[in-house]
Amino acid sequence: MQAFAASLPSWEALLQALVSGLLTGGLYALLGLGMALIFGVMRIINLAHGELLMVGMYLTFWSHTSLGLSPYAAAAVGVPALFALGYLLERHLIGPVSRADAVLPDNQVLLTVGIGMVLTNVMLSLFSADYHSVPSPLAGRVVRLAVPGLAASGSSGTEASGFLVMNQAAILAFVIAGLATAGLWAFLTRTDLGRGIRATAQNREAAELLGLDTARVRAVTYGIGAALTGAAASLFVPLYYVYPAVGGSFTTKAFIVTVLGGMGSIPGAVAGGLLLGAGEAIGATCLGMDWKDAVGFCLFVLVLVLRPAGLAGRSRS
């Protein structure tokens, strides 16, 4: 028992891990917002979500190498391109399948799996399987935040005792993700189209009786969900490598975030992303990097067992 206690990290290291995890969790939240929005309106799990992010990451890479744009400025290319791609996918593939008389609900999910496979292989044929990166001057810079009492122990293991060390690229990504989340919430609550999306999510039949074109709303919703991955891509690229198979792991994380927060809940997706990021970081600090993803799955199972409706979801009884 004493040996186990001695192997545990200090509270300073845990605090550092928590802060780093919350910064990463902001990105997870932005990624999960798109999947939560799509599920809330269309009632399908978009298993091509990570592949849409992967396409956005390649658009960011292409914009940087061909147009000379920074990864953050490349969002001006990725966001509208992903919106158009998502809109067309729903309008011409997912929508017709969902409206077919004899269709099973599972077929829509299987269709998104197929879309993800096609997108992966298209990027593989265009860019090969090589790993790419987009350098950002902020990625190598850090911010040191003095914390009273942190220097007393001197055993935090951080870069400088008495300071919390935060990557500037991660901080900027967290801030932009927060602004994008606020913008989405304002759009859903302050605009006619946003209210139409919420009405469709609450009761599609009633929205149709009121004259709302729910087919268009569904297509726009899927486009917005894809556009959010385009915004997330410009934030992920300075921190992650770009390669065709990168989307699979992010689909899993987006799904976990969506379930943690409550299926279709926008505030829940934010809470779920922060929880997942913090949990992974603390788990990696306590147990090692090999256990990082396992901690996320453990949180996923724990929430399903203790609160099946999610952190912000409402139980149906």
One domain, residues 138 and 229? yes
Q: Which of 200, 277, 241 is nearest to 40 (CA)?
A: 200
User: Alpha-carbon distance 236 to 28, whole Å?
Assistant: 10
Same domain, 232 and 279: no
Residue 314: predicted pLDDT? 58
Q: Verify that 224 and 265 share a domain, yes or no.
A: no
Task: Give the per-residue pLDDT at 233.
Answer: 94
Residues of the chain with pLDDT under 70: 1-8, 100-105, 148-162, 313-317
- The answer to whether position 5 is within a domain reads no
Domain housing 310: 245-317
Residue 222 belongs to some domain of the structure: yes
> Of 179, 207, 242, which residue is a domain's last?
242
Give the end of a domain, one of 188, 213, 242: 242
Looking at the structure, tell me whether residues 162 and 279 fall in a common domain: no
Q: Would you state the pLDDT for residue 243?
A: 95
User: pLDDT for 115-173, tens place per residue?
Assistant: 999 999 999 999 999 999 888 777 777 888 777 666 544 444 444 456 788 888 888 88
Q: Are residues 77 and 211 in the same domain?
A: yes
CB atoms within 10 A of CB 104: 10
292 and 178 in one domain? no
pLDDT at 157: 45
Whether residues 129 and 268 share a domain: the answer is no
Q: Is the dihedral of CA 107, 117, 250, 170 positive or negative?
A: negative
Question: In 3-state terms, what secondary structure has residue 186?
Answer: helix
Q: How many H-runs (helices) and E-runs (strands) does the chain carry?
A: 14, 2
pLDDT at 51: 96
pLDDT at site 244: 95
Tell whether 287 and 311 lie within a shared domain: yes
Query: Is residue 14 situated within a structural domain?
Result: no
Same domain, 233 and 270: no
Q: For the chain, how many structural domains are there in total?
A: 2
Is residue 209 a part of any domain in this protein?
Answer: yes
Say if 141 falls within a structural domain: yes
Query: What are 106's two structure tokens?
Result: 């599972």
Question: What is the structure's pLDDT at 308?
Answer: 81
Does residue 255 sit in the same domain as residue 172?
A: no
* DSSP structure class, residue 92: I
| Predicted local confidence at residue 161, as pLDDT | 55
Domain boundary among 198, 218, 242: 242
Do 110 and 176 lie in one domain? The reply is yes
For residues 220 and 95, what is the distance between their CA atoms, to the nearest angstrom? 11
The tokens of 109 are what?
Answer: 């999910």
Quick check: is 23 in a domain? no
Asked if the structure places residue 1 within a domain, the reply is no
Q: Which residues pair with 242 in a beta bridge?
A: 132
Cβ atoms of 14 and 239 within 8 Å: the answer is: no
Q: What pLDDT, on the 0 to 100 scale, is given for residue 34?
A: 93
Instruction: State whether 71 and 144 are in the same domain.
Output: yes
In a domain? residue 54: yes
Question: How buried is residue 252: exposed, middle or buried, by Cβ count under 10 Å (0-12/13-18/19+)?
Answer: middle
